[in-house]
A = this chain, B = another copy of it.
Amino acid sequence: MDPRPIGVFDSGLGGLTCVKRLMDVMPGEDIIYLGDTGRVPYGGKSRETILKYARQDIAFLRSFDIKAVVAACGTVSTNGLEEIAGDYPIPVFGVADAAAQAAARATRNGKIGLIGTTASIRSRAYDEKILRARPGAEIFKKACPLFVPLVEEGRIGRDDEVLRLVAEGYLRELRDTGIDTLILGCTHYPLIAGTVGEVMGPGVTLIDTGAETAERLRRELAKTGALAARARGGYTYYVTDSAEDFGRSAALFLGTHMEGDVHRVTLEERV
C-alpha cells in the first residue's frame, strides 16, 4: 500500500470530471489537482506549446510527493504525453489509452468515432492506440471546438437549443458513417453526453475517457499494491488564475459540492 497522493492536471476545470470518477472508484486516495486556468484552453494551441505547458504542470505536481500523474486532459493526452512520460520516475497516465481500449472492446462493427478539441483531432494518437487494440478498425474524427465554451457557459441541458444545433452540425457526418461507438475525447464532454447521445441515437455507445482512465488506474495501483489503505482521501486543488468562484465552477464538473482547499499558484516557466 502507498499512501502518497495521486496528482491530476488539466488545462482548466474539465479534468474534474475525471477526478470525480477517481473519487468514485478509489474513495481512499488523496488527490492533488492542478487546473492551468491562467492559460486555459489548450485545445486550440500547437503541439509544442501544449507539451511545454504539460511539462510545467507535471513539474508542479511533482513538487508534492505523488505516486502517479493523470493528465485529465484529452488535448495533452493526444499531443505527445507519451514522449515525455518516460522522463519521470513515476507513472504518467493520459486519458486516451484506456478510452481507446474501451472503444476497441465496445465496437461491434469496427467503426469508432472520436470527438475532441482541434488539437486532439489533429493528432493521430487515438488512431494508433485503437488500431493496436483492434487492427482494421475504421476511425472517424470530428473537432468540436464550440463544445468547451458551451459547457463553460452552462449550456449543458438537453433542452438547450444552441447546444442541440451545434451538436447536430458537428455530429451529422459522424452519424452518417455508421459508427457504433463514440469516444468523448475531452473531459468536458461527459456533461453534454445527454445531448450527444440523443443526436447519435441509441445504437451508439459513448466512451467516457475519465471513467475508463479512473478504472484503469485503480487496476494498475491494485496490481502493484499501491492503493492507499485509508477509508476516505483528502482533496487539494490548485489553479493558475484566481481561486475565487472556483467552488461554483468545480461543482459543475464534479457534479457535487467541492470539498477541500483551493490555492492559486504560479508555475515555474523555465521547465
Known pairs A38-B45, A49-B240, A162-B166 / 9 extra A-B pairs, C-beta < 8 Å? A38-B49, A44-B152, A46-B242, A146-B146, A146-B149, A146-B150, A149-B149, A162-B165, A269-B269
Report if A87 contacts B (CB, 8 A).
Answer: no
Classify the secondary structure of A's interface with B. Answer: loop
Among A44, A48, A169, A242, residue most surrounded by chain B Cβ atoms (within 10 Å): A44
Nearest-CB distance from A36 to chain B (Å)? 10
A contact residues vs B (CB 8 Å cutoff): 37-40, 44-46, 48-49, 145-146, 148-150, 152-153, 161-162, 165-166, 169, 240-242, 244, 269
Docked pose: A213 CA to B48 CA in angstroms: 35
Q: Decide if A162 touches B153 in the complex (CB within 8 Å).
A: no
Docked pose: A166 CA to B165 CA in angstroms: 11
Nearest-CB distance from A76 to chain B (Å)? 15
Docked pose: A162 CA to B46 CA in angstroms: 27
**Nearest CB to that of A38 among chain B residues?**
B49
6 contacts between A and B (CB under 8 A): A38-B45, A44-B152, A46-B241, A145-B152, A146-B146, A162-B169
Residues of B within 8 A of A44 (CB): 40, 152
Q: Which 6 A-B pairs have the closest CB atoms?
A: A46-B242, A149-B149, A269-B269, A39-B39, A49-B241, A45-B241
**Nearest CB to that of A242 among chain B residues?**
B46
Nearest-CB distance from A221 to chain B (Å)? 35
Docked pose: A149 CA to B39 CA in angstroms: 16
Docked pose: A242 CA to B45 CA in angstroms: 8
Residues of B within 8 A of A166 (CB): 162
Docked pose: A239 CA to B269 CA in angstroms: 17
Residues of B within 8 A of A149 (CB): 145-146, 148-149
Q: Decide if A45 touches B37 in the complex (CB within 8 Å).
A: yes
Residues of B within 8 A of A145 (CB): 149, 152-153
For A49, give its contact among B45, B48, B49, B242 (CB under 8 Å).
Answer: B242
Docked pose: A38 CA to B50 CA in angstroms: 9
Q: Decide if B244 touches A46 in the complex (CB within 8 Å).
A: yes
Nearest-CB distance from A153 to chain B (Å)? 6
Nearest-CB distance from A86 to chain B (Å)? 25
Docked pose: A37 CA to B37 CA in angstroms: 15
Residues of B within 8 A of A46 (CB): 241-242, 244
Docked pose: A145 CA to B37 CA in angstroms: 16
